């Protein structure tokens, strides 16, 4: 795949991700491969909607001219997605925040963002350094979920923790090694910030010492741990279920 554009979300690949970008009014133009031979109902609906809204569409027949990921047959050229600084978090509206601490796997981050959108964690905080970048694959893996999430880039996780506590958020770390006997279901609070550490090392001791609670997810003892995206989804669902 040839990277043609810079800026977060300037290039979005895949019918679900493009459809979501269209719904958030970011799409400027579409590029479509082999449209006439496609049987995708979603793609046909997307093209119809784009034509009605006078969105420019470029149709490509020869796959050798396709400069994007071969897995996808539609991409959108978009206005860059707006992101935020940690100092702006108090201006964002959400009672549920997810903080990612140096995750390195794009697939994990994309899946986590998709779950966050599903379970109303509408703010995700990501470190500026030593973390996977938000790119075209992230948008694709989130299946459009990232369009409904506010992304906050932070410099210091310790400053972020202080800021979240100042805004009356409970800070809760997910740790498979936790000995806490209290279930996440027992935490009765309106404002929650979940912290998830890197795939390899999890949350550092220094970070865990600054949080209000550290909890693990109950599971069969025959399995050592869960994938980071699965752990995040289970924890977010528990809080989503409490509010439903």
11-78 and 84-243 in the same fold: no
pLDDT of residue 177: 62
Query: Which pair of structure tokens corresponds to residue 86?
Result: 């940690």
Q: Which of 90-99, 115-124, 208-217 has the highest mean pLDDT?
A: 115-124
Q: What are phi and psi of 11, to 5 degrees?
A: -125, 125
Can you tell me the mean pLDDT for 206-210? Answer: 94
Q: Say which range, 37-51, 153-167, 212-226, has the weakest mean pLDDT.
A: 212-226
Mark out the alpha helices in 34-121 (DSSP H runs): 41-52, 106-118
- 228 and 188 Cβ atoms separated by less than 8 Å: no
Domain topology for 84-243: Alpha/beta knot (3.40.1280)
pLDDT of residue 188: 61
Report the candidate in 189, 216, 192 with the shortest Cα–Cα distance to residue 202: 216
Whether residue 132 has pLDDT greater than 60? yes
DSSP-derived letter for residue 79 is P
CA distance readout (Å), 197 to 109, 171, 176, 200: 12, 13, 11, 8
Class of the CATH-defined domain 11-78? alpha beta
pLDDT of residue 199: 78
151-182 per-position pLDDT tens digit: 999 999 999 999 999 999 999 998 866 555 45
Which one has a higher pLDDT value, 92 or 131? 92
d(CA 32, CA 46): 11
- 232 and 117 Cβ atoms separated by less than 8 Å: no
What residue segments make up the domains of the chain, in order of their start? 11-78, 84-243
How much of the chain exceeds pLDDT 70, in percent? 89
Can you tell me the mean pLDDT for 96-112? Answer: 93
Beta bridge partners of 171: 193
Whether residue 226 has pLDDT greater than 80? no
d(CA 174, CA 182): 12
Specify burial of residue 234 (Cβ count, 10 A radius: 0-12, 13-18, 19+).
middle
CA distance readout (Å), 13 to 9, 29, 76, 136, 143: 10, 12, 7, 7, 9
Mean pLDDT of the chain: 87
């Amino acid at each position: 795949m040839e990277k043609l554009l810079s800026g977060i979300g300037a290039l979005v690949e895949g019918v679900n991700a493009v459809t979501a970008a269209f719904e958030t009014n970011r799409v400027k133009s579409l590029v479509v491969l082999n449209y006439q031979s496609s049987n995708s109902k979603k793609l046909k609906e997307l093209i119809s909607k784009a034509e009605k809204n006078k969105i420019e569409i470029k149709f490509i027949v020869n796959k050798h001219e396709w400069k994007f990921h071969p897995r996808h047959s539609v991409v959108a050229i978009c206005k860059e997605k707006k992101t935020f600084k940690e100092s702006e978090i108090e201006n964002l509206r959400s009672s549920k925040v997810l903080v990612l601490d140096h995750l390195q796997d794009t697939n994990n981050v994309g899946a986590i963002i998709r779950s966050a959108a599903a379970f109303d964690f509408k703010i995700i905080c990501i470190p500026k350094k030593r973390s996977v970048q938000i790119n075209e694959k992230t948008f694709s893996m989130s299946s459009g979920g990232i369009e409904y999430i506010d992304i906050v880039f932070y410099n210091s996780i310790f400053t972020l923790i202080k800021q979240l506590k100042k805004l009356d958020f409970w800070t809760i770390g997910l740790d498979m090694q936790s000995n806490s006997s209290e279930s996440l279901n027992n935490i009765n609070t309106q404002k929650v910030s979940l912290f998830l550490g890197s795939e390899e090392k999890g949350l550092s001791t220094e970070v865990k010492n600054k949080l209000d609670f550290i909890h693990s997810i109950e599971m069969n003892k025959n399995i050592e741990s869960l994938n980071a995206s699965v752990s995040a989804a289970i924890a977010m669902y528990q809080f989503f279920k409490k509010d439903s």
